[in-house]
Each structure stands twice: as C-alpha cells, then as structure tokens.
Amino acid sequence: MIGHIYTLIFYQPVYNALIALIGFLPTADVGLAVVILTIVIKLILFPLTQKGLVTQQRMKDLEAPLAAIKEKYKDDTEMQTKETFALYKKYKVNPFLSILTLLIQLPIILTLYWVFTRGGLPVIKPELLYSFVHIPAVISMKFLGLLNIQKRSIFLAVCAGLSQFASAHYSLRDQTVATTGTSFKDDMMKGMQLQMRFVLPGIIFLLGLEFAGAVALYWTVSNLFIVGQEIYLRHIGVKGPNKKKLEY
C-alpha cells in the first residue's frame, strides 16, 4: 500500500518528467534532463525554501527573548514551552519549516536513486508512462557526451561534496557561536556547525561514490541552486520580524 502511494506521488511523476525532458531535448541527454528537472524542482520549492530562510533569520532575532523566557521560567518547563510557542506565534515563526523543506527533498533523491538503479534506463518502462508521454527514439546516458551518469562517477562525487561544502558555507556564514564561556548548548551548536561544514560534505562525497552519477549530479545542481538562492535572497534583503531590538 505504502509502495503504491509512493509510486503514484513521487516515482511516477519524476519518472515521467524525466522521460518527457529526454524526448524534448535534441541530444536526448539524460544528464541534461536531470539538470533541468532539478532546477524545475528547486523552483517549485523556492517559496517554501524562502520561508525557511526568513524563519532562520527570525529565529536568530528571537535568541534574546527566548533566552529571557528560559531564565524566567527555568523551574517551570510547561510554562516555558507555552511562552516559547506564544513567541513563535507572535512573530509568525515555524521552527520546523527548514526540516520540512529537507524532508520533502528526501523522497525526490530516493526516487532518482530508484530510477537509475532499478528503473532500467536507458530501457523505458511503458507501463509507468502517462498516456501523453512518448518513448524517446534515442537516449544518451552520457552527460554532455562525456560522463556516463548511469555508473558511479568520482568526478561527480567530488562535485557533490564540494557543492555541499559551499552550500553549508553560505547557509552558516552569519551564524556565530560564542567561543568563551560556552554552555552545553553552545558546544552542541558548534559541533553541529562543524559537522555541516566538514563532515556532511565528506558523507555526500562517499554516497556519491556509491550511487549512480545521476544522483550525484542532482545533488550538485541542487546545492549550486541553493548557493545562488542564498546570494539572491541576501541581495534583495531577507528581513527578520523586526529591524529593532526584540524584547520580551
């Protein structure tokens, strides 16, 4: 049942979109189709991602009021939780939005993995195609005529790792943690930032070596899109809930 729902909601739409793009492209380049599909997916998710970045800024602005709540109700966990969520509601902050954006992408990555490991490309499965999607006459598995994305690619794995590092760099560059008088929370935050900056890119590189090159290509384009998105949103100015100092 769950597998059937997953096929209908994720696998079949992505599979059909990919086949349709391959048929549309004069070169029938599967890698180029993956690039275009990635950009389309990121554009669809752009409003949600933008809200996630605004939420990050608002969370940063709310650090002082949140600390005041913790101090005021340090012996009353129930009241502390109530006042924290009241503050989130007041400034229209959803602390789970960034996690939601990541969770939405996971099925897409899993779908691409299945498409290229179990989907049979370059052989097409007609039973999965919608009536308006036609089977391409020719299919090229070599991205730009150079890289076979059906197989593992060290080059694309390196690109995925480096792009993940760049994405983490732009996402975390405004987040600072105290280096003196640190608390357990500060130590934990520093540890998480270090993992996102250095450990996660290494993990992405290793995963890129295990998966088909198409998955590493998707991850690379996705990360580069995120970097460009960060630069654009910072350029137009992503504001917090209030330019003035927030007080509780």
Summarize the confidence of residues 193-220 as an average pLDDT: 78
pTM of the complete model: 0.73
Which among 141, 142, 192 has a CA at the least distance from the CA of 168?
192
Name residues whose C-beta falls within 8 Å of residue 13's C-beta, 6 or more positions apart in sequence.
none
> Model confidence over 155-192: pLDDT tens digits?
999 998 898 888 877 766 655 444 444 444 444 445 55
Contact 124, 15 (CB under 8 A): no
- Report the pLDDT averaged over residues 12-29: 89
Mean pLDDT, the chain, rounded, equals 77
Q: Report CA Rg, the chain.
A: 22
Q: Can you spell out the DSSP letters for 207-218?
A: HHHHS-HHHHHH
Give the strand pairing for 147-148 and 142-143: antiparallel
Token digits of residue 83: 């006042």
Name the residue with tokens 């990919």.
18
CB burial string 55-74: b at 16+ within 10 A, e below: bbbbbebbeebbeebeeebe
What's the pLDDT score for residue 178? 42
The mean per-residue pLDDT over the stretch 85-91 comes to: 81
Count of CB atoms situated within 10 Å of the CB of 120: 11
Predicted confidence at residue 32, as pLDDT, reads 92
Length of the chain: 248
Question: Residue 79: is its pLDDT beyond 70?
Answer: yes
71 or 240: which leads in pLDDT: 71
3-state secondary structure of 152: coil
Residue 54 has pLDDT above 80, yes or no: no
Per-residue confidence (pLDDT) for residue 36, from 0 to 100: 92
Q: What percent of the chain has pLDDT over 90?
A: 5
In percent, how much of the chain has pLDDT > 70? 77
Report d(CA 11, CA 118) in Å as an integer.
11
Is pLDDT of 102 > 70?
no
